[in-house]
Amino acid sequence: MRVFITGATGLIGSAVVAELLANGHSVTALTRSDASAAAASAAGATAVRGSLVDLDVLRSSAADADGVIHLAFGNDFTSAEALAQNVAEESAALAALGDTLVGTGKPFVTVSGTPWIPGRASTENDLLPLDGPVGGRGISVERMLGLSSRGVRSSAIRLPRTVHNEGQGGFAGLLTQFARQTGVAGYPGDGAQRWPAVHALDAAVLFRLALEGSPAGRAWHAVDDESDTVLDIVSVIGRRLGLPVEPRPLEDFGPIGPVFATDQPASSALTRAELGWEPTRPRLLADLERLEA
C-alpha cells in the first residue's frame, strides 16, 4: 500500500514509518524542513515538502496515496493561544485530507488522546471531550470518523498521555524537561492522578493494523500501562536526574496544566481483542530508567 503520512519524523511518526516499511508498504512523508526531509529519506520514505497549513499539498498527496495516516501536531504549548492555533491548523488539515478521500474507500487513520472518565478507565466506546484545552481536537476527530458514511475507511488511534521510547516523549517527557529546566522534579496536584502510557514501537504496530484492517468509523486505544500514577513517574525522573521531587502549582505547567492534573486511566481491552494488538516493549517506568542526568 502507498501510504501518505504527516508527522513522519517525530518520535511516533518515525516508528510508524519503520513499521510500515518493514511490512511491505511504501511511504510518502510530509516534511517541513531540509533536515526532516533528509531524515525521512534516510528512513526509506519519499519526502514531500510542506506543512499542515499547505492544504493543496495535503490534498494532492492524499489523492496519490492508497491510504493516509495523520500524526502531525504543533509543538508550541507555551500559551493557550499557541495551543488553540495548533488545534485550528490540525482541524483544517484533517478536513482537507478527509474531503479528498470521500468516496474512495481508502483508509484514513488519525490520532487523538484517550478520553478521561470520572471514576474508571476510559474505553474505546467512550466519546472524546469536546471542550477544554484540546476539545477542538475531539471535534475534528469525531468529524473525521463520521466520514465512514461517505466512503472513507476512517479510524482513530487514541494515544495515551505518554508515548515513550528510551525514556523520552509524551507527558512524562515534558515533566522531564520541566525538571531539567527548574532543578525540581515537580508534579501537579497530589500526584495520585493516573496516566496511561505506551511504547512508541508498540503504538506503531497499532497504526499499521488500523491502516490494514480497521472497520470504518472506529476508535482504538494504544494503551499498554493503564494507570501509572504521576507521583510514581516523577519519582523515577527525580531519582534518575538526581533532583528533589516536589508538588508544584498548576500554573507552572502552562496551558495544559489542567490536563496534567486530571486522573485519566484508560483501557485497551477492546483493541486487543478486535485487532489482535499486543504490546511487547518496555513499560513506562522501566523505560524511564534509561534517563541520564
Q: State pLDDT tens for residues 135-182.
A: 788 899 999 999 999 999 999 999 998 999 988 999 999 999 999 999
pTM: 0.93
Beta strands in 40-140 (DSSP E): 46-49, 67-69, 107-113
Q: Considering only CA atoms, which of 261, 215, 266, 273 is closest in space to residue 234? A: 261
3-class DSSP state of 11: helix
Helix axes 11-22, 34-43, angle to 10 degrees: 30
Q: Considering only CA atoms, which of 64, 150, 161, 147 is closest in space to residue 110? A: 147
Please check whether residue 157 is in contact with residue 109, taking contact to mean a CB–CB distance below 8 angstroms: yes
Amino acid letter at 36?
A: S
- All three cell numbers of 69, joined, read 495516516
Q: State pLDDT tens for residues 217-236.
A: 999 999 999 999 999 999 99
Amino acid letter at 183?
A: G
Beta strands in 94-193 (DSSP E): 107-113, 153-159, 162-164, 185-187
C-alpha to C-alpha distance for 226 and 153, rounded to whole angstroms: 28
End-to-end CA distance of the chain: 43
Mean pLDDT per 10-residue segment, the chain (293 residues): 96 97 98 95 97 96 98 75 83 96 98 93 94 81 96 97 92 94 95 97 98 98 97 97 96 84 96 98 96 89
Which segments of 26-79 does DSSP mark as H helices, in order? 34-43, 55-64
